[in-house]
A = this chain, B = another copy of it.
């Protein structure tokens, strides 16, 4: 067994059984090792697709995927979506090919400081020193990536460590008995409980009856944690909120509803103004996404108190259980979202008719990946009563996250349809995702909101106090010369597509996309 084979075998033994790959010459032995039938390999034509897909996989599975990238520049191409994944607390194991150690001293063209490039956006970086050590390194990478919250682990793989004899894999000692490698419930990522004093304090705050918002994030916006948060809210009158962006929310009919703190500073401060207390769960107090002249960074009102209930590495489900006990409210039923039957809309496309089309069309247990920026910002509030679904948002703000994340989510959940809502400007960053979706026959409906503009920048221009954009500034914001032909773009990568200009045809296109397996693209002409 050579180093590459030892690496692949260790990854799958530890529960990492998918690799989003964009290989090059230095990774040929790793490619050969991918003949291992226990590892699924998915080819991506650009590295940002690979890292974003790994993020999407983690969002739905809560276990890390691996990526294979080609030296420093290959890693660099994947960094923006690694940033987004890191901010979403998604675990990921990146394997970065590298020249053999003996070759590096000659500084061949593809040489760069890979550790230097990896560190700003990785929690853990290691260079495999030798083939026999690779199994140990790989097991540690998976353990780190599998922690709660998820972590970015980056393992640099020199050619000689890849091709030399590795011997039998030697793994680090297990940190606790009964550990189930790579799974969400292994001992490594057993989540910590908040201390009892903090729970008592929060219970006192809630009993005060003063206006309180509980802000849920990361793993607290789904499953037991969300359901228990709903009981707390029902018992105390506290409201449940989320940041504008959340890694994954279980929402729709039957789920405990969460109010979304608005994006724009003025609206967010207005929304938060009534609250005397903000209780944070796996997050911190709300801050503005960007800084603006003469606008605050912190969004809460003066005098509002912030109380952490659950820190990022703690267990929200357990915390809410403790809190329910402290409140004596175990048996209070949560208020859940009712199904709202939306009539099929007709006529002009606007935020409301778009929302109604979505709410009427998306099937139960769909996954919605939202990078629609201006369009979605106004629409998504109107889809709360849709069938139960998962909503995924961009946590890092680097655009070009959605089409790769949708790709990874579709691989993670082959029996669920993924709707990827994306603005035309955003879609262009990692449009190569469509090819992987076609190749793998993924159930992804990509919805391009084509306003032929970086529309968000038009609003932000005046928000920034830069006034009204002149002709030259506008030419950096409008992307209508030439108009991107989205049907041709979809065709170029083997994805069937349709353009719609009315609400009813949008609804029909959504419904049609669910009927047949495989990817579809819908251009929504705005």
Say yes or no: is A479 at the interface (Cβ < 8 Å to chain B).
yes
Is A274 part of the contact surface with B, judged by Cβ < 8 Å? Answer: no
- Chain B residue numbers with a CB within 8 Å of A457 are 23-25, 28, 31
Given contacts A103-B291, A470-B32, contact A479 B45 (CB under 8 A): yes
A90 CB, min distance to chain B CBs, angstroms: 14
Is residue A330 contacting chain B, with contact meaning CB distance below 8 A?
A: no
Task: Report the stretch among A72-80, A206-214, A307-315, A408-416 that lies at the interface.
Answer: A72-80
* Candidate in A34, A117, A120, A469 with the most chain B CB atoms within 10 angstroms: A120
> Which residues of chain B come closer than 8 Å to A117, judged between CB atoms?
79, 117, 120-121
Q: Assess whether A73 is in contact with B77, with CB atoms less than 8 Å apart.
A: no
A464 with B28: CB separation less than 8 A: yes
Q: Are B34 and A109 in touch, CB under 8 angstroms?
A: no
Chain B nearest Cβ from A449, distance in angstroms: 16
Task: Kindly identify which residue among B43, B461, B486 contacts A475, using a CB–CB cutoff of 8 Å.
Answer: B43
Give the segment of A187-195, A358-366, A375-383, A488-496 that binds chain B.
A488-496
A516 at the interface (CB under 8 A from B): no
Q: Is A466 an interface residue (CB 8 A)?
A: yes
Interface size on A, residues (CB 8 A): 101
Residue in B72, B438, B473, B483 whose CB lies within 8 Å of A83: B72
Residues of A108-128 at the interface with B, using a CB-CB cut-off of 8 Å, are 108-110, 112-113, 116-117, 119-121
- Within the complex, the shortest CB–CB distance from A13 to chain B, in Å, comes to 18
Q: Are B21 and A476 in contact (CB under 8 A)?
A: yes
Q: Is the CB of A25 within 8 A of B460?
A: yes
Chain B residue at minimum C-beta to C-beta distance from A464? B28
The chain B residue with its CB closest to the CB of A467 is B32
Given A23-B476, A428-B46, A461-B28, is A120 in contact with B72 using a C-beta cutoff of 8 Å?
yes
Interface hit among A55-63, A346-354, A391-399, A505-513 = A391-399
Compute how far the CA of A84 lies from the CA of B121 in the bound complex, rounded to whole angstroms: 22
Cβ contact within 8 Å between A45 and B87:
no
Shortest CB-to-CB span from A20 to chain B, Å, is 11
Min C-beta distance of A130 to chain B, whole Å = 15
Residues of B within 8 A of A397 (CB): 71, 73, 108-110
- Is there contact, CB below 8 Å, between A473 and B31? yes
| Residue from B74, B79, B465, B486 within 8 A of A76 (CB atoms) | B79
Select A484's contact among B35, B120, B492, beta carbons within 8 Å.
Answer: B492
Q: In the assembly, what is the distance between CA of A428 and CA of B288, in Å?
A: 36
| A400 to B: closest C-beta gap in Å | 8
- Evaluate contact between A35 and B466: CB separation under 8 angstroms: no
* Interface pair B83/A80, CB less than 8 Å apart: no
Given known A32-B470, A472-B34, contact A287–B106 (CB-CB < 8 A)? yes
Could you tell me the distance between the alpha carbons of A492 and B77 in the complex, rounded to whole angstroms? Answer: 23
- Most B CB atoms within 10 A — which of A77, A292, A485? A77
Partner of A73, one of B31, B80, B435: B80
On whether the beta carbons of A475 and B287 are closer than 8 Å, the reply is: no
Q: Could you say which residues of chain B place their CB within 8 Å of the CB of A71? A: 397-398
Contact partner of A46 (CB less than 8 A), chosen from B102, B287, B293, B429, is B429
Query: Is B80 touching A77 in the complex (CB atoms < 8 A)?
Result: yes
Could you say which residues of chain B place their CB within 8 Å of the CB of A456? 25
A293-334 with Cβ < 8 A to chain B: 293, 297-298
4 additional A-B pairs beyond A76-B79, A106-B287, beta carbons within 8 Å, are A31-B466, A43-B476, A108-B397, A489-B493
5 A–B contact pairs at CB < 8 A?
A: A73-B397, A74-B398, A76-B80, A109-B245, A489-B489
